[in-house]
């Protein structure tokens, strides 16, 4: 969501998003899903042939007010139960070639980008030969080997040119790009919510070329606002999750599956959805990494957190008989004690300004990365927690987890809060390579430094619950100022190169100069030398 949409958003999906753990009873299977077809679908024969006008960034970009949720309860000021307050002796892998992504003044074949909303909602994914970066209302395609811009920057709704309806006319943001590694396809989505009825607009590339043809869909959500959509790729579906709002009232998370097989061929497609109670929000779907698929018939795993626990659901979809589609959960997974950073609001300081930044500590951070190692299945995910006990410096760290055996009795295999000093760390994204090595990217700030983009990592053989010393992708040269301009990022993205299954690609936000609505983004890649 953009900060023209920011007012009040520091409370949105607040702390633990799950609100209260009202449904902590044994996991249950819900009733039958809601089944609705895409209201429109077609084929864009070539994205390369679509040339937006330079003013489209301003004319077609909209902001929307956020919808606050009540803060969850839970113990106040409890000590973090998993702090790693110093790094291990080794340094995270050396950074490869880093380069700027879409941001203020960024130029490419289709023109120059001008920031007109915040935050950027930075995310990206790596494919066979390209890297696609998507910010709040725009995207660009990069050549993976040269790092050069091959297409863009263009407004995200360029993908729906000629499609008709709100997907074409609106450019509302909250976009996500993922790469379907098994099919070699790009999947790009954003919502169209300028006015009801609301839609999720989804485009699936016809090949591995992100500048080629796309199959396009509009999935309907009526008059209930589908906020903060997040997507994961699974063999049986593209899974999308939302936080639903009826007016300003939170209506619970909505968990949906789109018919992947149909969408890979451009055929008519339906969605199957389950609506959760208002006790749960901020649910992430598992997103598949690696060449090994989940065991045959495995459900998609979905996760959020409540007080001192993760909650896991299992979503099994049946496209031939929807009566067989099931959602089971939540299964409670106890974790080490934590408090949400900033109690879910804005407390992160920056150098040279009094403006504090929002921790977005009210939810798990994109992605919930899944990998099947053959002898075990793993899920990794993170969120921001409070570490400092001083009232003047309640600094934050990044809590990360590896959960194993998700289709049996899921349990935390390892966890830690990475906080090697008293700087504030937040807005993380985490993933694993084919050896089980892990990389965690995040933002870092304090009253003495401008917000920076850094990362750490661990080898599979390192002591459990530890990360190595951090490295930098880019150190910020400015801070975000302006009246109530507290929104930062909203999410970032760590993805794994499908070619070698070793190289991590991370993207997030920084500023080159102190100011308002002048953010920049950075893309960096690296890998552990032992992963070949």
> How far is the C-alpha of 429 from the C-alpha of 366, rounded, in Å?
6
Mean per-residue pLDDT, 393-415: 97
Mean per-residue pLDDT, 37-52: 94
29, part of any domain: no
520, part of any domain: yes
Specify the CATH number for the domain of residue 506: 2.130.10.10
31, part of any domain: no
Mean per-residue pLDDT, 383-388: 96
Extract the tokens encoding 318: 């049946």
Tokens 């933002």 sit on residue: 443
Per-residue pLDDT tens digits for 186-238: 999 999 999 999 999 999 999 999 999 999 999 999 999 999 999 999 999 99
Mean per-residue pLDDT, 505-523: 97
Query: H or E stretch including 262?
Result: helix 260-264
Q: Which residue has the higher pLDDT, 133 or 76?
A: 133
Based on the structure, what is the number of domains in the chain?
1
Q: 39-43, 50-54, 204-208: lowest mean pLDDT where?
A: 50-54
Mean per-residue pLDDT, 472-499: 94
Tokens 């070539």 sit on residue: 46
63 confidence band (pLDDT: 50, 70, 90)? low
11 confidence band (pLDDT: 50, 70, 90)? very low
Instruction: Answer whether 68's CB lies under 8 Å from 8's CB.
Output: yes
30, part of any domain: no
Q: 49-53, 351-355, 394-398: lowest mean pLDDT where?
A: 49-53
pLDDT at 420 over 70: yes
**What pLDDT, on a 0 to 100 scale, did the predictor assign at position 27?**
65
Q: What is the DSSP letter of 91?
A: B
**What pLDDT, on a 0 to 100 scale, did the predictor assign at position 57?**
63
349, part of any domain: yes
**What pLDDT, on a 0 to 100 scale, did the predictor assign at position 76?**
63
501 confidence band (pLDDT: 50, 70, 90)? very high
pLDDT at 22 over 50: no
pLDDT at 61 over 70: no
Residue numbers of the domain that contains 100: 3-24+36-526
> How far is the C-alpha of 72 from the C-alpha of 94, rounded, in Å?
40
Residue 37, C-beta contacts closer than 8 angstroms, at least 6 positions apart: 268, 269, 270, 271
53, part of any domain: yes
> How far is the C-alpha of 154 from the C-alpha of 177, rounded, in Å?
14
**What pLDDT, on a 0 to 100 scale, did the predictor assign at position 484?**
83
109 confidence band (pLDDT: 50, 70, 90)? very high
**What pLDDT, on a 0 to 100 scale, did the predictor assign at position 15?**
37
15, part of any domain: yes
532, part of any domain: no
**What pLDDT, on a 0 to 100 scale, did the predictor assign at position 77?**
74
**What pLDDT, on a 0 to 100 scale, did the predictor assign at position 75?**
61
**What pLDDT, on a 0 to 100 scale, did the predictor assign at position 345?**
81
**What pLDDT, on a 0 to 100 scale, did the predictor assign at position 343?**
83
**What pLDDT, on a 0 to 100 scale, did the predictor assign at position 511?**
98
How remote is the C-alpha of 20 from its chain's centroid?
A: 23
């Amino acid at each position: 969501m953009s900060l023209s949409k920011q007012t009040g958003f520091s409370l949105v999906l607040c702390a633990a998003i799950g609100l209260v753990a009202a449904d902590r009873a044994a996991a249950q299977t819900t009733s039958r899903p809601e089944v609705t077809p895409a209201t429109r679908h077609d084929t864009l024969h070539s994205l390369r042939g679509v040339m937006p006008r330079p003013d489209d960034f301003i004319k077609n970009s909209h902001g929307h007010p956020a919808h606050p949720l009540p803060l969850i309860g839970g113990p106040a000021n409890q000590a973090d139960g998993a702090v790693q307050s110093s790094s291990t002796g080794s340094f995270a892998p050396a950074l490869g070639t880093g380069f700027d992504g879409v941001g203020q003044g960024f130029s490419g074949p289709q023109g120059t980008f001008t920031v007109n909303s915040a935050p950027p909602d930075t995310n990206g994914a790596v494919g066979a030969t390209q890297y696609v970066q998507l910010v709040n209302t725009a995207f660009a395609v990069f050549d993976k080997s040269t790092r050069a811009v091959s297409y863009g920057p263009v407004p995200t709704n360029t993908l729906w040119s000629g499609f008709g309806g709100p997907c074409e006319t609106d450019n509302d943001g909250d976009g996500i790009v993922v790469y379907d590694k098994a099919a070699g396809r790009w999947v790009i989505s954003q919502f169209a919510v300028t006015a009801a009825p609301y839609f999720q607009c989804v485009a699936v590339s016809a090949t591995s070329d992100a500048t080629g043809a796309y199959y396009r869909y509009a999935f309907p959500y009526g008059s209930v606002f589908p906020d903060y959509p997040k997507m994961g790729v699974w063999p049986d579906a593209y899974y999308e999750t939302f936080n639903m709002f009826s007016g300003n009232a939170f209506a619970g998370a909505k968990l949906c599956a789109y018919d992947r097989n149909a969408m890979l061929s451009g055929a008519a497609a339906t969605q199957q959805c389950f609506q959760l109670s208002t006790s749960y929000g901020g649910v992430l779907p598992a997103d598949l990494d690696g060449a090994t698929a989940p065991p045959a018939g495995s459900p998609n795993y979905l996760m959020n957190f409540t007080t001192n626990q993760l909650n896991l659901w299992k979503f099994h979809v049946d496209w031939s008989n929807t009566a067989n589609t099931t959602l089971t959960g939540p299964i409670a997974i106890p974790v080490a004690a934590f408090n949400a950073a900033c109690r879910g609001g804005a407390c992160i300081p920056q150098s040279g300004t009094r403006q504090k930044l929002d921790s977005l500590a009210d939810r798990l951070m994109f992605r919930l990365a899944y990998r099947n190692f053959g002898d075990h299945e793993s899920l990794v995910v993170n969120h921001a927690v409070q570490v400092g006990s001083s009232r003047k410096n309640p600094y934050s760290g990044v809590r990360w987890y590896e959960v194993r055996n998700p289709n049996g009795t899921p349990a935390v295999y390892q966890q830690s809060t990475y906080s090697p000093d008293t700087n504030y760390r937040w807005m993380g994204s985490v993933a694993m390579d084919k050896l089980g090595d892990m990389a965690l990217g995040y933002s870092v700030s304090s009253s003495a430094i401008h917000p920076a983009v850094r990362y750490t990592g661990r080898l599979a053989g390192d002591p459990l619950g530890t990360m190595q010393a951090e490295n930098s992708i880019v150190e910020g040269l400015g801070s975000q100022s302006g009246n109530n301009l507290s929104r930062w990022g909203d999410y970032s993205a760590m993805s794994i190169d499908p070619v070698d299954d070793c190289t991590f690609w991370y993207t997030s936000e920084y500023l080159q100069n102190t100011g308002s609505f002048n953010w920049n983004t950075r893309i960096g890649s690296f890998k552990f030398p032992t992963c070949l």
